[in-house]
Structure 1
Amino acid sequence: MGRMRIHRAWFVAAVAFVAILGAAGFRATPGVLITPLENEFGWSKGTISLAVSINLMLYGLTAPFAAALMDRFGMRRVVTLALLLVAAGSGLTVLMTASWQLLLLWGVLVGLGTGSMALVFVATVTDRWFVRHRGLVTGILTAAGATGQLIFLPVLAHLADGPGWRVASLSVAGAALAVVPLVWLLLRDHPADVGTTPLGGEAVARPEPLPGAATRALRVLRDAARTKPFWYLAGGFAICGMSTNGLVGTHFIPAAHDHGMPQTVAAGLLALIGIFDIAGTVASGWLSDRVDPRVLLGAYYALRGLSLMVLPSLFAATTEPSMLVFVIFYGLDWVATVPPTVALCRRIYGADGAVVFGWVFASHQIGAAVAAVGAGLARDQFGAYTVAWYAAGALCLLAAGMSLAVRTVGKRREDGSAAGRPDRTSESAPTH
């Protein structure tokens, strides 16, 4: 009996997992640097949050252009360059002396780098390499973000509290550089590059590079913006970003510290969210292959909103059982929204689905940027984060309604060969 061969698609997915894992860890780092930077330089939380806000916004706005650039130059080149940008941005922070340098390095360079390894990378990998298990792999790769948070946050928090935040920043730079050889040697752009087929699909020729990446990204936005489903998905995902990366990801640690909880303990709780996020996101990917994605999104947003409204009453100097319940529940829901959103973009917009998702993801990060700086300003103004938690909870309930309002007509082919233009029939007004 011959040995069973592992399909090359799984190796590509493994390399993508490592790169996305690193990107998530790099992006989560500012959460543990807010208090040390405030103590050393005297910068306000609002000022430091502005750098995080720029990072989050560029992380999103870079995504659709990164998807188009991957079609033009290949995933391997784009991801390699992105890792080098992250290493430069993080490493140079040890030399900064003014707040504008934080905005440039952590805001611009790291934002551009991590944005090029954002969830559009997930969509591109799964579109090119998988037909069978596409939803499941989307969930697994999305969960890499939670794994990165789980690995990096506790380590960086201890480094920031011990040797100092500069050691933490240099560690991020070193980790980014360490991933570069792995990506360059093992990541491949198309199954045809290595003479194989997508997993579960038929052989397809390697497509010609698409010129005008920026023009294509803008054209896809123009076409998608003429359809109602795009605005429902983008609006819901903006609220998703507000309630996760922008609010909890950036301000959970300083908010817990306000109540007397040590920063390392708070970072551990945020990392614990990452543990349960892995399970929740993989399960969501599996469900997205079997359950109406609109229903999944509606349930995820509604439950998240209710949990955020409870959170202000759970903060304490010690870790109480009620806070652990929140961490488990919120972790399961953290980025479970991604697989059904990717599935809806693919179903409605066909071959342009990855780029459309890039723009939807851009709205996610714009929302995150608004929440990051808004929550910081609210803390400076009111002395507490309470208003931010309640506002995010209410917006999540609105996102649940928007998700259920999405209408699709028919199911496009899942091999990515569907027409690139959106279904005009899906523009019909939602039935309430």
Structure 2
Amino acid sequence: MRKIHHAWVVAAVAFVALLGAAAFRAAPGPLMVPLNEDLGWSITTMSAAVSVNLVLYGLTAPFAAALMERLGVRRVTSVALVLIAAGAGLSALATAAWQLMLTWGLLIGLGTGSMALVFAATVTNAWFVRRRGLVMGILTAGGAAGQLVFLPVVAHLAATAGWQVASLLVAAVALAVLPLVVLVLRDRPSDLGLAPYGGDTVLPRPIPSGSAVRTALGALRDAARTRAFWALAGGFAICGATTNGLVGIHFIPSAHDHGMATTTAAGLLAVVGVFDIVGTITSGWLTDRVDPRLLLLAYYTFRGVGLVLLPWLLSATLHPSIVLFVVVYGLDWVATVPPTVMLCRRVFGARGTIVFGWVFASHQLGAAAAAFAAGVIRDNLGSYTYAWLGGAALCVVAAILSISLRSRPEPPSPAAPTAPVSGPAAEAALDLTP
């Protein structure tokens, strides 16, 4: 019997860790209505706390990627899980809006940001040479699986036992994953004397040079000189705005405005999570075989069509059209991640993971802006309609940015470390067409 490469064990642990960290991603939507009814906080106030979380979730990512290179994946991930547990647990004691900013915003933002998609990209690039697209798709699906598992549970507990109990559940889940990370996760194949999966050479641990902050900012400085970086960052900002920012946070309150029960709306978002797993893994498989630009064009186009139709699909009861919406939106939810990671690696080489951290930061800045703007639109206009239509218009922009990129094949020897690519060299590898 052929022995399973330890890379797959590490990938499995990373999947579980991402699943546990995703527990909070399921919390704000179902908790907004109970918090509004219990403490009288407005949707705008709670959206502001979520926006702080999303900003930190994004801005922490590139520095976390640099820290993982310097201190190791296991240490950074362990601290991140503790921060998530502390933020979720303390939020159960919140009685003022500033306390929600501290817990939902600061603590959980820093914790989830340290376990964002750069964690998945770091594990994938360190442990795999072959099947990178597929593994990145599977790990990205870990977040979707977290939403699938915890969203209905959080909604049910918030409706029956109270929002405080739902918050404590999130804290318990983060702590439950911690022992597995400490005992099983390893930073690099060389720690076990192994070559990466699909590689022939045991690669020594890189010697850190400079601080993590300097490394992260240096990668941003060089990447920002290329138009390709801004195209990738702009498209991914729109991705965040139309997933985490709009649908992830405001779908449940919007459905509630149309008379739908919170638990029913949460169930629909769980269906998004189910099909997100299928869509993201399939996207990873396709990324190994199809031009990533074409995949992104298709994903943003389908997403825009869905957002245009959503205001007329929501109602007090379930019907086939809204179920079809959540299925299609689920398949598309974070299917954008594997092709975006692949494009970052192609153009920025060994720095691709850290550069993706900055691209991901733009994803969360877009999500934060959309989360806050949608709350303001709802409170001032009494409806989310213009928020959904605005998201659809942004998808058109993202589709144009994606197809405008010029792509070339990955470096021919992926087993060996590649030199950082920036400036004119990066433009030659992946650039905007004239």
Query: Within 2, Cα distance between the matches of 1:226 and 1:409?
Result: 19
Change (3 A) 1:416 1:374: farther
Q: Per-residue displacement from partner, 1:366-415 (whole Å, max 9, x unpaired)? A: 00000001000100000000000000001001100001111234532433
- Residues 409 and 423, structure 1, Cα contact 8 Å, conserved in 2: no
CA deviations 1:297-348 (Å, max 9, x no partner) are 1111111111110111000101110001101100000000000000000000
Alignment of 1:220-369 (within 5 A): 220-369=219-368
> 5 Å matches for 1:6-405?
6-202=4-200, 203-405=202-404
Instruction: Give the letter aligned to residue 186 of structure 1.
Output: V
TM-superposed deviation, 1:427:
2.9
Instruction: Give the match's secondary structure for 1:407.
Output: strand
Asked whether the 8 Å contact 1:9–1:199 carries over to 2, the reply is: yes
Q: Give the Cα–Cα distance (whole angstroms) in 2 for the partners of residues 416 and 403 of structure 1.
A: 28
Bigger CA drift: 164-173 or 416-425?
416-425
Residues 350, 416 of structure 1: 8 Å contact kept: no
Give 1:243 shift: 0.1
Q: 1:131·1:200 contact (CA, 8 Å) conserved in 2?
A: yes
Distance 2:410 2:84 in 1: 39
CA distance 1:230–1:222, shift in 2 (3 Å):
same
Aligned partners of 1:430 and 1:94: how far apart in 2? 48
Check whether the contact 1:127–1:416 (CA below 8 A) recurs between aligned residues: no
Contact 2:311 2:388 in 1 (8 A): yes
Give the Cα–Cα distance (whole angstroms) in 2 for the partners of residues 209 and 182 of structure 1.
26
Residues 275 and 327, structure 2, Cα contact 8 Å, conserved in 1: yes
Deviation sequence 1:27-59 (CA, Å, 0-9, x none): 221111111111111111000100011111111
| Matched letter for residue 175 of structure 1 | V
SS of the residue corresponding to residue 417 of structure 1 reads: coil
TM-score normalised by length of structure 1 = 0.98
Residues paired across the two proteins, number: 430
Q: TM-score, normalised by structure 2?
A: 0.97
The whole-number CA distance in structure 2 between the counterparts of 1:225 and 1:189 is 29
CA contact (8 A) 1:351 1:416 kept: no
CA RMSD of superposed structures (Å): 1.2
Match of 1:418? Answer: 418
Against the structure 1 CA distance between its residues 74 and 66, is the aligned structure 2 distance closer, same or farther, given a 3 Å change threshold? same
Distance 1:415 1:51 in 2: 43
Contact 2:53 2:108 in 1 (8 A): yes
The letter of the residue matching 2:241 is M
1:25 positional shift? 2.0
Contact 2:223 2:423 in 1 (8 A): no
Q: Distance in 1 between matches of 2:97 and 2:13?
A: 35
**Match of 1:188, SS?**
coil
Tell me the distance in 2 between the aligned counterparts of 1:313 and 1:27: 26
